[in-house]
Amino acid sequence: MEDKKILLGLSGGVDSSVAALILKRKGYEVIGAFLKMYSETKNPLTGKCAYLDDRRDSQKIASLLGIEFIELDFERIYRKEVLEKMFRNYSSGLTPNPDNLCNTKIKFPLLWREARKLGAHYIATGHYARIRKTGEKYELLAGKDRSKDQSYFLSGLGQKDLSHTIFPVGNLTKKEVRKIARANKFPNWNKHGTTGICFVGKIKMHDFLKEKIRARKGIVLNTEGIKIGTHEGTCFYTIGQKAGSHIGINIRKPAGESQKKFYVAEKNKGNILVVAPEGHSCLKARNVFIRKIHFINRKEKGNFSARIRHLGKLYPGKLEKKAGKWKFVFKKGIEGIASGQIIVVYADERVVASGEMKLDENKIK
Protein backbone atom coordinates (compact mmCIF):
# COMPACT_ATOMS: atom_id res chain seq x y z
CA MET A 1 0.00 0.00 0.00
CA GLU A 2 1.55 3.26 -1.12
CA ASP A 3 2.82 5.52 1.71
CA LYS A 4 1.22 3.20 4.26
CA LYS A 5 4.25 1.31 5.57
CA ILE A 6 5.06 2.27 9.16
CA LEU A 7 7.64 1.24 11.75
CA LEU A 8 6.16 1.15 15.25
CA GLY A 9 8.13 1.04 18.48
CA LEU A 10 6.50 -2.02 20.08
CA SER A 11 7.57 -2.07 23.73
CA GLY A 12 5.42 -4.89 25.07
CA GLY A 13 3.19 -2.45 26.95
CA VAL A 14 -0.50 -1.87 26.38
CA ASP A 15 -0.09 1.59 24.81
CA SER A 16 2.11 0.56 21.88
CA SER A 17 0.06 -2.62 21.46
CA VAL A 18 -3.17 -0.66 20.98
CA ALA A 19 -1.27 1.77 18.75
CA ALA A 20 -0.39 -1.20 16.50
CA LEU A 21 -4.02 -2.29 16.39
CA ILE A 22 -5.24 1.21 15.49
CA LEU A 23 -2.68 1.58 12.71
CA LYS A 24 -3.53 -1.80 11.24
CA ARG A 25 -7.23 -0.99 11.24
CA LYS A 26 -6.44 2.21 9.37
CA GLY A 27 -4.78 0.21 6.62
CA TYR A 28 -1.13 0.64 7.49
CA GLU A 29 1.42 -2.09 6.87
CA VAL A 30 2.80 -2.20 10.41
CA ILE A 31 6.23 -3.44 11.40
CA GLY A 32 6.60 -3.83 15.16
CA ALA A 33 10.11 -2.99 16.37
CA PHE A 34 11.22 -3.98 19.85
CA LEU A 35 14.07 -1.75 21.01
CA LYS A 36 16.78 -3.34 23.10
CA MET A 37 18.26 -0.46 25.10
CA TYR A 38 19.29 -1.75 28.51
CA SER A 39 19.73 -5.38 29.54
CA GLU A 40 20.98 -5.11 33.13
CA THR A 41 17.67 -4.57 34.95
CA LYS A 42 16.50 -7.87 36.43
CA ASN A 43 13.03 -9.22 36.98
CA PRO A 44 12.74 -9.45 40.80
CA LEU A 45 10.81 -12.73 40.57
CA THR A 46 12.80 -14.65 37.95
CA GLY A 47 16.20 -12.97 38.21
CA LYS A 48 16.32 -12.80 34.40
CA CYS A 49 16.85 -9.66 32.33
CA ALA A 50 13.61 -7.67 32.49
CA TYR A 51 13.77 -6.68 28.83
CA LEU A 52 13.25 -10.35 27.86
CA ASP A 53 9.77 -10.25 29.42
CA ASP A 54 8.91 -7.12 27.42
CA ARG A 55 10.25 -8.64 24.20
CA ARG A 56 8.13 -11.75 24.75
CA ASP A 57 5.04 -9.58 25.25
CA SER A 58 5.86 -7.65 22.08
CA GLN A 59 6.18 -10.85 20.08
CA LYS A 60 2.82 -12.08 21.39
CA ILE A 61 1.09 -8.89 20.26
CA ALA A 62 2.79 -8.97 16.85
CA SER A 63 1.70 -12.59 16.39
CA LEU A 64 -1.85 -11.83 17.53
CA LEU A 65 -2.14 -8.94 15.07
CA GLY A 66 -0.34 -10.72 12.27
CA ILE A 67 2.29 -8.03 11.82
CA GLU A 68 6.01 -8.32 11.16
CA PHE A 69 8.23 -8.26 14.25
CA ILE A 70 11.87 -7.16 14.42
CA GLU A 71 14.32 -6.38 17.20
CA LEU A 72 16.65 -3.38 17.07
CA ASP A 73 19.69 -3.37 19.34
CA PHE A 74 20.51 0.20 20.36
CA GLU A 75 22.06 -0.68 23.71
CA ARG A 76 25.59 0.49 22.96
CA ILE A 77 24.58 3.91 21.67
CA TYR A 78 22.00 4.28 24.46
CA ARG A 79 24.70 3.77 27.07
CA LYS A 80 27.00 6.24 25.35
CA GLU A 81 24.54 8.98 24.45
CA VAL A 82 22.15 8.76 27.40
CA LEU A 83 23.51 6.97 30.46
CA GLU A 84 27.13 8.13 30.24
CA LYS A 85 26.02 11.71 29.62
CA MET A 86 23.64 11.43 32.56
CA PHE A 87 26.46 10.34 34.87
CA ARG A 88 28.72 13.15 33.60
CA ASN A 89 26.00 15.75 34.16
CA TYR A 90 25.33 14.55 37.68
CA SER A 91 29.07 14.59 38.37
CA SER A 92 29.21 18.24 37.32
CA GLY A 93 26.35 19.17 39.67
CA LEU A 94 23.47 19.18 37.18
CA THR A 95 20.19 17.28 37.35
CA PRO A 96 19.60 15.92 33.84
CA ASN A 97 16.50 14.28 32.38
CA PRO A 98 17.55 11.08 30.56
CA ASP A 99 14.05 10.41 29.19
CA ASN A 100 14.07 13.60 27.10
CA LEU A 101 17.58 12.84 25.87
CA CYS A 102 16.60 9.28 24.98
CA ASN A 103 13.74 10.47 22.76
CA THR A 104 15.64 13.19 20.93
CA LYS A 105 18.98 11.38 20.52
CA ILE A 106 18.05 7.71 20.30
CA LYS A 107 14.48 6.55 19.93
CA PHE A 108 13.05 8.88 17.27
CA PRO A 109 16.11 9.47 15.04
CA LEU A 110 17.18 5.81 15.08
CA LEU A 111 13.66 4.51 14.52
CA TRP A 112 13.43 6.81 11.50
CA ARG A 113 16.81 5.65 10.22
CA GLU A 114 15.67 2.02 10.38
CA ALA A 115 12.29 2.91 8.88
CA ARG A 116 13.96 4.32 5.78
CA LYS A 117 16.04 1.16 5.42
CA LEU A 118 12.84 -0.88 5.47
CA GLY A 119 11.06 1.39 3.01
CA ALA A 120 8.64 2.72 5.62
CA HIS A 121 7.24 6.23 5.28
CA TYR A 122 6.39 6.83 8.94
CA ILE A 123 7.30 5.88 12.48
CA ALA A 124 4.94 5.59 15.44
CA THR A 125 5.03 5.09 19.20
CA GLY A 126 2.50 4.64 21.99
CA HIS A 127 3.11 8.07 23.52
CA TYR A 128 0.23 10.12 24.89
CA ALA A 129 0.72 13.22 22.75
CA ARG A 130 -0.70 14.64 19.52
CA ILE A 131 0.61 16.22 16.34
CA ARG A 132 -1.29 18.86 14.41
CA LYS A 133 -0.35 20.22 11.00
CA THR A 134 -0.96 23.94 10.57
CA GLY A 135 -0.13 25.13 7.08
CA GLU A 136 3.34 23.76 6.32
CA LYS A 137 4.31 23.47 9.99
CA TYR A 138 3.70 20.83 12.63
CA GLU A 139 2.67 21.44 16.23
CA LEU A 140 3.22 19.18 19.22
CA LEU A 141 0.19 19.04 21.51
CA ALA A 142 -0.46 17.51 24.91
CA GLY A 143 -2.27 14.17 24.93
CA LYS A 144 -6.02 14.06 25.49
CA ASP A 145 -5.48 12.26 28.80
CA ARG A 146 -3.78 15.00 30.80
CA SER A 147 -3.01 12.54 33.60
CA LYS A 148 -0.84 10.55 31.16
CA ASP A 149 0.33 13.35 28.85
CA GLN A 150 3.91 12.72 27.65
CA SER A 151 4.53 15.91 25.68
CA TYR A 152 7.09 16.93 28.32
CA PHE A 153 9.34 14.02 27.28
CA LEU A 154 8.82 14.78 23.57
CA SER A 155 9.49 18.52 23.72
CA GLY A 156 12.91 18.18 22.07
CA LEU A 157 11.47 16.86 18.79
CA GLY A 158 11.70 19.09 15.74
CA GLN A 159 9.74 19.72 12.55
CA LYS A 160 11.46 16.88 10.70
CA ASP A 161 10.64 14.41 13.49
CA LEU A 162 7.00 15.47 13.69
CA SER A 163 6.51 15.36 9.90
CA HIS A 164 6.92 11.57 9.76
CA THR A 165 5.67 10.56 13.23
CA ILE A 166 2.25 9.32 14.35
CA PHE A 167 0.95 9.00 17.92
CA PRO A 168 -2.08 6.68 17.52
CA VAL A 169 -3.23 6.79 21.18
CA GLY A 170 -2.78 10.53 21.65
CA ASN A 171 -6.52 11.16 21.35
CA LEU A 172 -7.40 8.41 23.83
CA THR A 173 -7.37 8.14 27.60
CA LYS A 174 -5.49 5.35 29.36
CA LYS A 175 -8.83 3.90 30.44
CA GLU A 176 -9.97 3.78 26.82
CA VAL A 177 -6.71 2.16 25.74
CA ARG A 178 -7.06 -0.61 28.32
CA LYS A 179 -10.69 -1.13 27.32
CA ILE A 180 -9.68 -1.60 23.67
CA ALA A 181 -6.89 -3.98 24.65
CA ARG A 182 -9.19 -6.07 26.84
CA ALA A 183 -11.90 -6.22 24.16
CA ASN A 184 -9.31 -7.55 21.71
CA LYS A 185 -8.01 -10.12 24.23
CA PHE A 186 -4.54 -8.63 24.48
CA PRO A 187 -2.64 -10.56 27.19
CA ASN A 188 -1.05 -7.32 28.41
CA TRP A 189 -4.27 -5.29 28.71
CA ASN A 190 -3.73 -4.70 32.44
CA LYS A 191 0.08 -4.60 32.42
CA HIS A 192 1.54 -1.86 34.60
CA GLY A 193 3.16 1.04 32.78
CA THR A 194 6.90 1.63 33.03
CA THR A 195 8.31 4.07 35.57
CA GLY A 196 11.73 5.42 36.40
CA ILE A 197 14.52 6.00 33.88
CA CYS A 198 13.64 5.34 30.25
CA PHE A 199 14.37 1.62 29.50
CA VAL A 200 16.21 1.16 32.81
CA GLY A 201 13.09 1.16 34.96
CA LYS A 202 12.29 2.17 38.49
CA ILE A 203 15.46 2.34 40.53
CA LYS A 204 16.86 4.27 43.46
CA MET A 205 18.72 7.03 41.64
CA HIS A 206 21.08 7.59 44.58
CA ASP A 207 22.26 3.96 44.46
CA PHE A 208 22.42 3.94 40.65
CA LEU A 209 24.68 6.99 40.60
CA LYS A 210 26.97 5.51 43.25
CA GLU A 211 27.73 2.65 40.85
CA LYS A 212 29.57 5.12 38.62
CA ILE A 213 30.36 8.16 40.79
CA ARG A 214 32.63 8.02 43.83
CA ALA A 215 31.16 9.36 47.04
CA ARG A 216 32.92 12.46 48.43
CA LYS A 217 31.99 13.53 51.91
CA GLY A 218 31.06 17.17 52.33
CA ILE A 219 29.43 19.50 54.82
CA VAL A 220 25.83 20.63 55.15
CA LEU A 221 25.03 24.23 56.06
CA ASN A 222 21.79 25.81 57.14
CA THR A 223 20.56 29.07 55.61
CA GLU A 224 22.62 31.06 58.13
CA GLY A 225 25.86 29.39 57.04
CA ILE A 226 26.20 27.20 60.12
CA LYS A 227 27.39 23.62 59.72
CA ILE A 228 24.66 21.20 60.77
CA GLY A 229 25.74 17.94 59.16
CA THR A 230 27.43 15.96 56.39
CA HIS A 231 26.54 14.42 53.04
CA GLU A 232 28.03 11.97 50.50
CA GLY A 233 28.61 14.40 47.62
CA THR A 234 26.55 17.21 46.11
CA CYS A 235 26.36 15.35 42.78
CA PHE A 236 23.98 12.82 44.33
CA TYR A 237 21.32 15.37 45.21
CA THR A 238 18.77 17.58 43.48
CA ILE A 239 17.50 21.00 44.46
CA GLY A 240 14.17 20.56 46.24
CA GLN A 241 14.92 16.97 47.29
CA LYS A 242 13.95 15.98 50.81
CA ALA A 243 17.06 15.74 52.99
CA GLY A 244 17.55 12.69 55.21
CA SER A 245 19.81 9.85 56.23
CA HIS A 246 18.10 7.58 53.68
CA ILE A 247 20.10 9.38 50.97
CA GLY A 248 23.23 10.04 53.01
CA ILE A 249 22.35 13.53 54.28
CA ASN A 250 22.83 13.49 58.05
CA ILE A 251 21.81 16.71 59.79
CA ARG A 252 21.15 18.03 63.27
CA LYS A 253 18.00 20.09 63.05
CA PRO A 254 18.08 23.38 64.98
CA ALA A 255 16.05 23.71 68.17
CA GLY A 256 12.44 24.41 67.43
CA GLU A 257 12.64 22.86 63.93
CA SER A 258 13.09 19.20 64.83
CA GLN A 259 9.65 18.28 63.48
CA LYS A 260 10.08 20.14 60.21
CA LYS A 261 11.09 18.53 56.93
CA PHE A 262 14.28 19.88 55.40
CA TYR A 263 15.04 20.16 51.69
CA VAL A 264 18.09 20.79 49.53
CA ALA A 265 18.22 24.52 48.79
CA GLU A 266 21.63 25.02 47.16
CA LYS A 267 24.62 23.05 45.87
CA ASN A 268 27.66 25.29 46.25
CA LYS A 269 31.31 25.09 45.21
CA GLY A 270 33.57 23.17 47.53
CA ASN A 271 31.12 20.27 47.79
CA ILE A 272 28.86 22.25 50.13
CA LEU A 273 25.17 21.52 50.49
CA VAL A 274 22.68 24.04 51.90
CA VAL A 275 19.39 22.80 53.33
CA ALA A 276 16.34 24.69 54.52
CA PRO A 277 13.09 23.88 56.35
CA GLU A 278 9.91 23.54 54.30
CA GLY A 279 8.38 26.84 53.33
CA HIS A 280 11.64 28.80 53.52
CA SER A 281 12.03 31.51 50.88
CA CYS A 282 15.41 30.20 49.70
CA LEU A 283 13.71 27.07 48.38
CA LYS A 284 11.88 29.18 45.83
CA ALA A 285 12.97 30.79 42.57
CA ARG A 286 11.10 33.08 40.23
CA ASN A 287 13.46 33.56 37.27
CA VAL A 288 15.20 30.75 35.44
CA PHE A 289 17.57 30.97 32.48
CA ILE A 290 17.06 28.48 29.65
CA ARG A 291 20.12 26.90 28.00
CA LYS A 292 19.99 25.12 24.63
CA ILE A 293 16.47 26.40 24.05
CA HIS A 294 14.52 24.57 21.36
CA PHE A 295 11.39 25.95 19.70
CA ILE A 296 8.94 23.54 18.08
CA ASN A 297 7.73 26.06 15.48
CA ARG A 298 9.10 29.58 15.78
CA LYS A 299 10.76 31.76 18.39
CA GLU A 300 8.03 33.22 20.55
CA LYS A 301 7.97 35.62 23.49
CA GLY A 302 5.09 36.41 25.80
CA ASN A 303 2.86 35.00 28.52
CA PHE A 304 2.73 31.22 28.72
CA SER A 305 2.74 28.40 31.26
CA ALA A 306 5.73 26.21 32.07
CA ARG A 307 6.27 22.78 33.53
CA ILE A 308 9.54 21.81 35.26
CA ARG A 309 8.90 18.07 35.48
CA HIS A 310 6.84 15.38 33.78
CA LEU A 311 3.16 15.78 34.71
CA GLY A 312 4.13 18.58 37.06
CA LYS A 313 1.96 21.60 37.69
CA LEU A 314 1.76 24.23 34.94
CA TYR A 315 3.00 27.55 36.31
CA PRO A 316 2.06 30.83 34.58
CA GLY A 317 4.80 33.23 33.62
CA LYS A 318 6.57 35.05 30.82
CA LEU A 319 9.10 33.81 28.26
CA GLU A 320 11.52 36.57 27.33
CA LYS A 321 14.95 37.23 25.88
CA LYS A 322 17.33 39.79 27.34
CA ALA A 323 20.99 40.40 26.56
CA GLY A 324 20.96 37.38 24.25
CA LYS A 325 19.71 35.01 26.95
CA TRP A 326 16.31 33.34 27.15
CA LYS A 327 14.61 33.05 30.51
CA PHE A 328 11.24 32.24 32.00
CA VAL A 329 9.88 34.52 34.70
CA PHE A 330 7.32 32.77 36.87
CA LYS A 331 4.39 34.76 38.19
CA LYS A 332 5.48 33.78 41.68
CA GLY A 333 8.40 31.90 43.21
CA ILE A 334 8.21 28.11 42.92
CA GLU A 335 10.10 25.26 44.54
CA GLY A 336 12.11 22.40 43.08
CA ILE A 337 13.97 24.17 40.26
CA ALA A 338 17.36 22.55 39.60
CA SER A 339 19.99 23.40 37.00
CA GLY A 340 20.06 20.82 34.22
CA GLN A 341 16.41 19.88 34.50
CA ILE A 342 14.13 20.44 31.53
CA ILE A 343 11.61 23.26 31.42
CA VAL A 344 8.80 22.98 28.85
CA VAL A 345 6.79 26.04 27.86
CA TYR A 346 3.15 25.69 26.78
CA ALA A 347 0.53 27.88 25.11
CA ASP A 348 -2.56 26.07 26.38
CA GLU A 349 -2.12 22.53 24.97
CA ARG A 350 0.61 23.43 22.45
CA VAL A 351 4.30 22.98 23.23
CA VAL A 352 6.15 26.21 22.49
CA ALA A 353 9.71 25.52 23.58
CA SER A 354 11.95 23.58 25.94
CA GLY A 355 15.49 23.68 27.26
CA GLU A 356 17.76 23.16 30.26
CA MET A 357 17.17 25.30 33.31
CA LYS A 358 20.05 27.23 34.87
CA LEU A 359 19.98 28.80 38.30
CA ASP A 360 22.37 31.51 39.51
CA GLU A 361 21.58 35.11 40.43
CA ASN A 362 17.93 34.49 39.74
CA LYS A 363 17.33 32.96 43.15
CA ILE A 364 14.91 34.74 45.45
CA LYS A 365 16.59 35.68 48.72
Residue-range domains of the chain with CATH: 5-183 (3.40.50.620), 214-279 (2.30.30.280), 282-358 (2.40.30.10)
- Residue 45 CB-density burial (10 A; 0-12 exposed, 13-18 middle, 19+ buried): exposed
Residues near 47 by beta carbon (within 8 Å), at least 6 away in sequence: none
pLDDT for position 302: 96
**Residue 198 known to be catalytic:** yes
Percentage of residues of the chain with pLDDT beyond 90: 75
Q: Which band of pLDDT confidence, cut at 50, 70 and 90, is reported for residue 201?
A: low
Going by pLDDT thresholds of 50, 70 and 90, the confidence category of residue 146 is very high
pLDDT-derived band of residue 1, with 50, 70 and 90 as boundaries?
very low
**Which is the catalytic residue, given 49, 198, 235, 282?**
198
| pLDDT tens figures, 63-101 | 999 999 999 999 999 899 998 999 999 888 888 888 999
Q: Give the model confidence (pLDDT) of 178-195 as tens digits.
A: 999 999 999 998 888 765
- Which of 49, 102, 235, 282 is the catalytic position? 102
Torsion-angle region of residue 336: left (phi > 0), alpha (psi -120 to 50) or beta?
left
Residues 6+ positions from 224 with CB-CB distance below 8 Å: none
Give the model's pLDDT for residue 256.
76
Mean pLDDT within 118-145: 96
**Catalytic site residue 102?**
yes
Q: Which of 202, 276, 264, 255 is nearest to 233 (CA)?
A: 264
Amino acid 195: pLDDT:
55
Task: Give the mean pLDDT of 235-256.
Answer: 90
pTM, 2 dp:
0.90
pLDDT digits (tens, 9 = 90+) for 6-62: 999 999 999 999 999 999 999 999 999 999 988 765 444 444 456 788 899 999 999
